[in-house]
Chains A and B, each alone.
Chain A
Amino acid sequence: MNSIKLKTNGYLIRPLKSSDASDRYLSWLLDEKISRTLDSDGKNQTLKSIVKYIQSHNNKTDFLFGIFIKNPKNIEGEHIGNISFRFQPRHKLANIGIMIGDCNYWGKGAPLETREKVIDWAFDNLNCNKIEAGCYSINMPAIYNFKRQHWEMEGIQKDHRIVENKNVDLILFGMRKEVWYANRNT
């Protein structure tokens, strides 16, 4: 499973290795405009904690995929973000989360393009029936992306997080395999 390599038009996606922990990656977590919509506590992150986090994924059911720019001839370019993917075989259920750390790739469809590939991989190759995800109510681009991909809103947890001293809701989304396949090319 460690050799999974997924390709989209513009990106390469593969499980991160310890050696992918970098100052660049750390700078994303320390940047409040990025970490404000993440569940991780950015302020306390170090290169060591990133390595530990990468190593906590077994690459069998728990994956931390890196998103890399795809250069000509499929050569791996810069690391621009991550997709976490945790699969519970017992329930045929996975959880997916995405972070685009390099702000130069915000608003360019990277989450849609890369998450689509990982979802395709999960439904096509794992015995997975459903994928769940969530985002804060202040994260409009994420909400747009969930709507665009036909995710079903499954609940709103009111005042579930505090961002910049304000309560925000946590929105829960679900994608069932049958819904994904029905909307795959729309």
Chain B
Amino acid sequence: MQIETHDAKKVISIALGVDDVEIPNNASIGNFKRWDSLGHFKIVLQLESTIRRSLQTDEVLSIVDIPSIQKILNTS
């Protein structure tokens, strides 16, 4: 479970240019300062780059926190 969290955190870490350890486990839209509107855009791009495909609109809409990013990673 910890490894899974790390994977999603890695995506956020690369996208936002922050160290994994600076990302709280409950990081989400609205509670992690670096995850602003521009950061959100970067996270989506990094996720698409990681899974090597474009996200569907419903997938883009599902991205709100670490578990939602992990879910996409797990199913791609």
Chain A residues engaging chain B, CB cutoff 8 angstroms = 106-107, 109, 137, 140-141, 143-145, 147-148, 153, 156, 158, 169, 171, 186
User: Helix, strand, loop or mixed for chain A's interface?
Assistant: mixed
User: Helix, strand, loop or mixed for chain B's interface?
Assistant: helix
Question: B44 at the A/B interface (Cβ < 8 Å)?
Answer: yes
| A144 & B37 in contact (Cβ 8 Å cutoff) | yes
Contact of A148 among B29, B41, B44, B57 (CB under 8 A): B29
Most buried by B among A106, A147, A186: A147
Q: In the complex, what residue of chain B is closest to A107 when comparing beta carbons?
A: B38
* A153 to B60 alpha-carbon distance, docked (Å): 12
With known contacts A109-B36, A137-B57, A156-B57, A147–B44 Cβ distance under 8 A: no
Question: B40 at the A/B interface (Cβ < 8 Å)?
Answer: yes
For B, the interface residue count at a CB cutoff of 8 angstroms equals 13
| A140 & B60 in contact (Cβ 8 Å cutoff) | yes
Question: B58 at the A/B interface (Cβ < 8 Å)?
Answer: yes
* A186 to B29 alpha-carbon distance, docked (Å): 12
| A144 & B41 in contact (Cβ 8 Å cutoff) | yes
With known contacts A148-B29, A148-B30, A141–B40 Cβ distance under 8 A: yes
Question: B61 at the A/B interface (Cβ < 8 Å)?
Answer: yes
| B37 & A145 in contact (Cβ 8 Å cutoff) | yes
